[in-house]
Amino acid sequence: MIQKTILNDTHRALGAKMVDFGGWDMPIHYGSQIEEHHQVRRDAGMFDVSHMTVVDLRGARVREFLRRLVANSVDKLKKPGKALYTCMLNPQGGVVDDLIVYYMSEDFFRLVVNAATRDKDLAWIAAQATAFDVEVVERPEFGMIAVQGPTARDRVIGLLREEDRGRVGKLTRFAAAEAKTETGVDLFVARTGYTGEDGFEVIVPEADAVAFWNALLEAGVKPAGLGARDTLRLEAGMNLYGQDMDDGVSPYEAALGWTVALDGDRDFVGRDVLEQQKASGAPRQMIGLVMDEKGVLRHGQKVLTPHGEGEILSGTFSPTLGKAIAFARVPAGEIAAGVEGGVRVDIRGREVPVRVVKFPFVRDGQPQDGVLA
Amino acid sequence: MSEIPGDLKFMKSHEWARVEGDGKVTVGISDHAQGLLGDLVYVELPNVGDRVEAGTACAVVESVKAASDVYAPVSGTVVETNAALADKPETINEDAYGEGWLFTVEIEEAEQLNELLGPDDYAELLEDDDH
């Protein structure tokens, strides 16, 4: 049966076009995906991301458990509230999921995992946790709203009670804090997001989620659908699980090498495979592409490079750039930037030249160097 | 639901055809179709002089979300295409039955028009889709 978030009726009342999103009935847009995209880049927009799952880990050995579970090092988390983006790997070095780990206290860490991988993740985490006597508790009673854009933080802070405003305003990127609204609602406010803009992801008790959403609306934050979230995150150079990586792809093959910490002799799942890839090179690589011709790059299109064939992973029309952009996974090997890379994409039988660029494509609303050529 | 113009014929796959009276037929996609696709960002049209065949794909409309084939409602030769769409594909979102037309065909067999749906039948089809 299709699942609904607590905000389902609210989305419908706002005129959302709803779609089946990995088993969840979610808004794809509220009229225009492109307008919602620009709204987030220029001002502030909000996304219902309540389909994502909060998982709380408790026990004396949680940190030790996470040292084993994830490829990034939780020892980077020194102050309560700090967050870490990481992949959790299988023994073959493939990505089970990408997630955020929040350090709450020494016996309490919080994970936020993807919606579509929820069951698989929970089973995997629970199986690994038994040896460490860690309690794994899913928290479906929370809603989650991402407020993103240059004015997003101010608008959220304006809804907090006086004494919490300063503290939440001072949160650094990838840090979180608990706070209350003026009406006394408990929030977990994290300065994270998935759009390349500043903003907060706010975890709110389900019972208060609709009122909080409506308060944000009144504060001038416009609703944005998962369609805009997808174009924003691709512009921001962020991976989407299931499209840009999965169980058969290592972090090195997904341009996520920066999230891998081969620190000391920490024995995390998949480490031996990653060490081997680090030493001799991963067989494939992920590259960023921009197409200057009209048209749209799409998932699954064939990509031709001097080193062999690959395929488009995420591909879309970038509203900020007015051009098609994409990630592609191609065989390993040096590829020059720009059209000199000799990379082409097969679009309905036509080989269209594309430029190889560094990503992110867009950061803080601005096209990055070399992206517009 | 938007008004469906009474002078149009439709395909089940949501293309419309308007008989221009001089043996020519103008083709577009329905307002319902543009709504399903969302913001259109690219249109690939046939070339003037191309022959298109009824029921086969002859153009592509791409929204941010997806690429969709456009099928020819009738067979014939393309005599004009809507060049303005190259720079403003969103015109289809704004005016699917007017400025957002795609191309005009010189029709070969007028009888093919009889196989298309009338406005009422098309409206009924959309209602059934909704349930």
Question: Same domain, yes or no, for A179 and A43?
Answer: yes
Chains A, B: CB pairs < 8 Å: 36
pLDDT for position B37: 92
- CATH number of domain containing B39: 2.40.50.100
Q: Could you tell me if residue A185 is inside a domain?
A: yes
CA distance B19 to chain A (A): 30
Q: Could you tell me the residue range of the domain that residue A196 belongs to? A: 8-49+141-233
Decide if B3 is inside a domain. no
Helix ranges (DSSP H) in chain A: 8-13, 33-42, 62-69, 118-129, 152-157, 162-169, 206-218, 226-235, 271-280
Residue B2 covered by a domain: no
pLDDT at B130: 67
Q: Give the CATH number, domain containing residue A43.
A: 3.30.1360.120
User: What digits encode the pLDDT tens for the residues A241-278?
Assistant: 999 999 999 999 999 999 999 999 999 999 999 999 99
HSE of B60 in the Cβ direction (CA atoms, 13 Å)?
Answer: 12
Q: Tens digit of pLDDT for each residue in B50-97? A: 999 999 999 999 999 889 999 999 999 999 999 999 999 999 999 999
- Residue A274 domain-assigned? no
- Provide the phi-psi class of B100: left if phi over 0, else alpha when psi is between -120 and 50, else beta: alpha
Q: Is residue B52 part of a domain?
A: yes
Is residue A17 situated within a structural domain?
Answer: yes
Q: What is the dihedral of CA A309, A310, A311, A314, to 10 degrees?
A: -150
**Is B98 within a domain?**
yes
This prediction's pTM: 0.93
pLDDT band for B131, please (50, 70, 90 cuts).
Answer: low
Q: How many residues does chain B have?
A: 131
Sheet containing A83-89, strands listed edge to edge, beginning at the edge strand earlier in sequence: A83-89, A95-105, A108-113, A53-58, A135-138
Residue B3: what pLDDT?
A: 79
Of A169, A203, A233, the position where a domain reaches its end is A233
Q: What's the CA gap between A133 and A107, in Å, rounded?
A: 11
Q: Report the chain B residue with the minimal C-alpha distance to residue A323.
A: B41
Q: Cα separations (Å) of B57 from A109, B46, B54, B84, B118?
A: 54, 10, 9, 21, 21
From chain A, pick out residues whose CB is under 8 angstroms from the CB of B60.
348
In Å, how far are A136, A287, A334, A343, A355 from A15, measured between CA atoms?
37, 37, 48, 42, 38
Has residue A326 been placed in a domain?
yes
Could you list the residue range(s) of the whole structural domain that residue B119 is in? 8-130
Query: What whole-number distance in Å separates Cα of residue A50 and Cα of residue A204?
Result: 9
- What is the full DSSP assignment across B4-55? PPTTEEE-TTSEEEEE-SSSEEEEEE-HHHHHHH-SEEEEEPPPTT-EE-TT
Q: Say how many domains are in chain B.
A: 1
- Give the orientation angle of helix A226-235 with respect to helix A33-42, to 10 degrees: 50
Residues 78 to 137 of A: which have CB under 8 A from any B CB? none
Cβ contact, residue pair A319, B86, below 8 Å: no
Kindly report the average pLDDT of chain B as a whole number: 94
pLDDT at position A373: 83
Position A249 in a domain: no
Look at residues A166, A199, A233 and tell me which one is the last residue of a structural domain: A233
Evaluate whether A208 touches A148 at the Cβ level (below 8 Å): no
Backbone angles phi, psi at A306, to 5 degrees: -60, -20
ipTM tops 0.95:
no
Q: Please check whether residue A317 lies inside any domain of the structure.
A: yes
Measured in angstroms, the CA of A324 and the nearest CA of chain B are apart by 9
* pLDDT reading at B1 higher than 80: no
> In the predicted model, what is the mean pLDDT of residues B13-39?
95
Provide the number of structural domains found in chain A: 2
pLDDT attached to residue B65: 85
* Contact in structure between A44 and A199 (CB atoms under 8 Å): yes
Q: Are residues A180 and A302 in the same domain?
A: no
CATH number at residue A314: 2.40.30.110
Listed as ranges, residues in chain A with pLDDT below 70 are none
